Amino acid sequence: MFPLLEVLKSLAQLSLAQLSLAQLFTATVIIVLSPILTDRIAAVRSILFSNYQDYFFPQLTMIIEESDGFSQNQLYAAARTYVGVLFSVSRKPRHFKCRRAIKGEKLVFDFVGEDFYQKKDIAREDSIIANFEGIKLEWKSRAKINEHNGETVSKYFELSFDKRHEKKVLEYYIPHLLARAEEIRKEERVPRLYSRGGSGLGEWLSINFEHPTTFEKLAMDPTLKRMLKDDLDRFVKRKDWYKKVGRAWKRGYLIYGPPGTGKSTLIAAMANFLKFDIYDVDISSINSDLDLRKILLSTSNGSIMVMEDIDCARLEKGGQQNKASSAKFTLSGLLNVIDGLWSNCGDERIIVFTTNHKDKLDPALFRRGRMDVHVHMSYCTIDGFKLLATNYLKIEDDHQLYRQIEVLLANVEVTPAEIAEELLNSSGSSDDVVLARLVEFFEQKLHVKAKAAELKERLKSADIDVDAEGLVKFLKQKKLENAKEKEVEQLLNSGDTDIDAEGFVKFIKQKKIEDAKAAEAK
């Protein structure tokens, strides 16, 4: 505005005598204030232009917040998906984030967070422009920051557009955004695995869920597998039916069975089959029924909420909690979430409970409408074994050892996880060698089972009541007491607890006599 170089040149052409005091003062003011005036004039010019724009072309700004009270704002979730695509087709802002997920093929773009601008101490310039039927729409991502700890309190989008197009934006553009986001979700989106950050009740953190398991690769009963696929397929196609009969569009599954039978793997197959996100809920981090409701309402539609090992909560009837419980919410609170008023908040949702001990659960959980489908993941059968052999060994046809293996599997308890581990350890060997080793593995298990049955029968005939868990602990303790340090190490590594059954029974009898005498003397 006031070129400093020109002022200096003009002053240089004049002698000191020719300059009056007023001229010197004016020149000094111009030299000192020139940078400041330049910035101020630019700011004034920007304000005037903005006021001109607001007067002749008034703008509206729509705020789309991440959550709406308790629940997640579905419009925000759709906008996040939609804006992510805009980065690929529109001019990017001055600052933006770029990443590629593990095993991902495409680059993913996003707005830079508030913390970036705070650390850099620079103004935000991060809008992205969309065009819809000749209407210019400006998207911005913003967040509310806690001034005390600097953590993000909430996130929201700002959508700005000309006031003249308000009706068209609300009636046509927003529905277009929702429909387009749904198309993107179905066509391109990989399911995501969510988990609560911090203490378990913070913001949901997520990664791409790229588990390779499908129903086709799952080692479970073929009839049960087919039933489960049909049930899931029927559920997602019956939106209108649920609305017609006045029921919440949700479904509950109870998956139970011994450890290693594939309960978590089945959940992965369900998510891949439906293309649903998974919300992994840690029951030990839930401090109240209110926390449980918040977790449910913060999940998105088209998702699976998983609560593993639900028997560990040990909740009692009437809302009373067992003192030994690791969770702090009540049974009534849990039932209200899965089958009460709060269960109607959201659509197309699946709730999955898993447990190793179905008999420990309260029968109230089994009622229809709560856990609609009970899935028993049993020990491996011959059908499951053949599928594992196909997956690991590529054996498509029948094998001469299959008949022997079928007989062994009918008499021993072995999980798919155990068989898979044996197959992995035998990789590189021929099919015949691998299957022969598995036959030996099953025969060894059968031998251990027979020894345990023999010992149990001897104890029973001797009228000695010893629980199995206590017996195992006793045997290990006795071996530790009688073994040298080296033998102890070998015992712990091998898990060997083989003790002569007849001698053990005699020892127990003698022990009972000694205990009786001691009690009588006392």
Q: Which neighbouring-strand residues pair with 488?
A: none
Residues 6+ apart with CB under 8 A from 506: none
User: Which pLDDT score is estimated for 484?
Assistant: 52
Distance CA 153, CA 60 (A): 25
What integer pLDDT is reported at residue 280 of this predicted model?
94
Pairing of strands 204-208, 192-196: antiparallel
Exposure b/e, 497-522, CB count within 10 A at least 16 = b: eeeebeebbeebeeeeeeeeeeeeee
Q: How many other C-beta atoms can be found within 10 angstroms of the C-beta atom of residue 275?
A: 15
H-helix segments, 426-522: 431-461, 468-482, 485-494, 501-521
Task: Report yes or no on whether pTM surpasses 0.85.
Answer: no
CB 66 within 8 A of CB 156: yes
Across the chain, which has 522 residues, the per-10-residue mean pLDDT values are 52 51 61 62 62 68 82 84 81 74 67 63 71 91 76 83 92 93 78 76 79 90 93 93 88 93 94 93 84 85 91 61 57 81 81 91 82 92 91 86 92 91 84 90 88 77 63 65 54 52 66 72 62
Backbone φ/ψ region at 221: left (φ over 0), alpha (ψ -120 to 50), beta: beta
Asked whether the beta carbons of 459 and 466 are under 8 A apart, the reply is yes
Give, for 350, the enclosing helix (H) or strand (E): strand 349-355
Provide the token pair at 65: 């917040």
**Single-letter residue type at 130:** A
Q: Rounded to whole angstroms, how far apart are CA atoms 90 and 86?
A: 6
The first and second tokens of residue 420, run together, are 């898979």
pLDDT of residue 62: 92
Q: What is the pLDDT of residue 441?
A: 92
Tokens for 212? 């390779």
Amino acid (1-letter code) at residue 268: A
